[in-house]
Chains A and B, each alone.
Chain A
């Protein structure tokens, strides 16, 4: 039981490049979400999903897309990277009571 996995751990992008952050969970959770965390800040919700085929926007969705084709996977796409997207990205899955977080992806946009 791996829990929530994220790849890559680190990534450096140039402005304008696109990429996909991968997230997978093996706990059969319907609810999954993506957060970004900037230095010294809290967790801001980007997008979330309540099940396969269902996604919705969070607090800071601009510049990001998501899809949920399976229960297990919830990738986050950066369409055209900007320096303001430099952050640590956490994927989580869980229930009403508990969110299980992946180890995070540290993204630097130059």
Chain B
């Protein structure tokens, strides 16, 4: 099976840019997804990378490099409401289950 590693905590200043990394160990997968979860809430989908490169969705962008087994979520113009946990996830080819990363708790400070 696969494992996806993320930093446990990241702190950034309001208005700044922050990058949340995700490294994985798997030989083949469909693509990398990103989810946001506020305290007490359910995870919600943010972004999906089927191919290598950058996908942009408003203030959020996500990047994938299959050759480096690495992806990241980039949050620009940080707002206080971006304080949440962020998870990467993937579905490995040959397996039917979706596995989530360890999660990164982002704290945005004034």
Contact = CB atoms under 8 A, between A and B. Distances in A.
Contact of B97 (A56, A97, A102): A56
Q: What DSSP secondary structure best describes chain A's contact surface?
A: strand
Interface residues of B, number: 21
Contacts, number: 55
B31 A42 contact: no
Contacts of A50: 96
A56 B97 CA distance: 9
Contact of A48 (B48, B96, B103): B96
A99 B42 contact: no
A90 B42 CA distance: 8
A94 B97 CA distance: 11
Contact of B42 (A33, A41, A96, A101): A101
A45 B43 contact: no
Interface in B76-100: 87, 89, 91, 96-100
19 contacts: A31-B98, A33-B97, A41-B103, A42-B100, A43-B100, A43-B103, A45-B100, A48-B96, A48-B98, A56-B97, A90-B42, A92-B43, A92-B98, A96-B91, A97-B33, A97-B50, A98-B33, A99-B98, A101-B42
Interface of A: 31, 33, 35, 41-43, 45, 48, 50, 56, 58, 90, 92, 94, 96-104
Contacts of B50: 97
B83 to A, nearest CB: 15
